[in-house]
Amino acid sequence: MAVSIGQLGKWKEQRRPIVALTAWDYAISSILDAAGIDIILVGDSLAMVALGYPNTLPITLDAMIHHASAVSRGVKQALMVCDLPFLTYQESLSQAIHSAGRILKEAGVQGVKLEGGYPLIVETISHLTTIGIPVMGHIGLTPQSVHRLGYRQQGKSPEEANRLIREALQLEGAGVFALVLEHIPSDLAEEITSKLSIPTIGIGAGPFCDGQVLVTADLLGLTPKQPPFATPYANLRDTITLAVNDFAGDVREGKFNPDKT
């Protein structure tokens, strides 16, 4: 059965961990979906892992819709969520409605993710959820704020931790259906998770969240450099390099015969 937003809340009640991974094209999403991944996120990290940008800021709404459309063609079961890229929701409420609406209508995903928990974003999210646009929140390390925050762990001081707890509660009040907690201390993630009735999805936030998400390119060892909290489960860079070198060697040495299968 296809994963619904309502199902996520039930899984939290049942303490059934939620598994989320990112995808940026049809090939990857069809593999993740067939493997039974619960949430497939078209994260704007694709700007870095698929398009080679130095951070997530340059990606456009059109590019996200292009990739999310390809991802959705490979998905039959998973819940699909797509990031709203930098400066496609912060300017005004009407900009946020327009951007989120385009993603839902054109890419066929079920929800959008917005970064941040400051008052303006909480207000925007409250409007989006009121008009029927499902929203996933994202606090802690928010990569769209890289020039202000860097990629440092967030929530280390008591003041920062209290702010993040406050933001999590306000985002829940604004109607988010789940909340990504990125790169915050494990005990803080545990405290936030215990205070919310919506599921938390951690990345670099310890084992006590209701679910975990990873950037699939990091999981597969496709990225040349991974964040410290990413856990590679394969080394596809080496596997691909080996296959490419074998093929090139066979062609150069006259050993490659396309008719021989």
Closest to ligand KIV by CB, 109 or 215: 215
Closest listed residue to residue 115, CA positions, set 141, 151, 80: 141
Q: Where are the alpha helices (DSSP H) in 1-45?
A: 5-14, 26-34
Structure tokens at 230: 């990413």
Q: Is residue 45 part of the contact set for ligand KIV (CB under 6 A)?
A: yes
Rg (CA), the chain: 19
Q: Which of 43, 116, 175, 199 binds ligand KIV (CB under 6 A)?
A: 43
Indicate which residue of 172, 182, 190, 191 is catalytic: 182
Q: Is residue 39 part of the contact set for ligand KIV (CB under 6 A)?
A: no
Q: Is residue 83 part of the contact set for ligand KIV (CB under 6 A)?
A: yes
Question: Whole-angstrom Cα distance, residue 75 to residue 40?
Answer: 8
Q: Which of 75, 78, 136, 180 binds ligand KIV (CB under 6 A)?
A: 180
Closest to ligand KIV by CB, 216 or 250: 216
Asked whether 97 and 91 are in contact (CB, 8 A), the reply is no
Closest listed residue to residue 184, CA positions, set 142, 162, 154: 154
Closest to ligand KIV by CB, 45 or 170: 45
CB atoms within 10 A of CB 30: 16
Closest to ligand KIV by CB, 44 or 210: 44
Note the Cα 240 to chain centre separation in Å: 25
Q: Which of 33, 38, 44, 167 binds ligand KIV (CB under 6 A)?
A: 44
Whether 182 is a known active-site residue: answer yes
Per CB under 6 A, residues contacting ligand KIV are: 22, 43-45, 83, 138, 180, 203, 213, 215
Q: Catalytic residue numbers?
A: 182
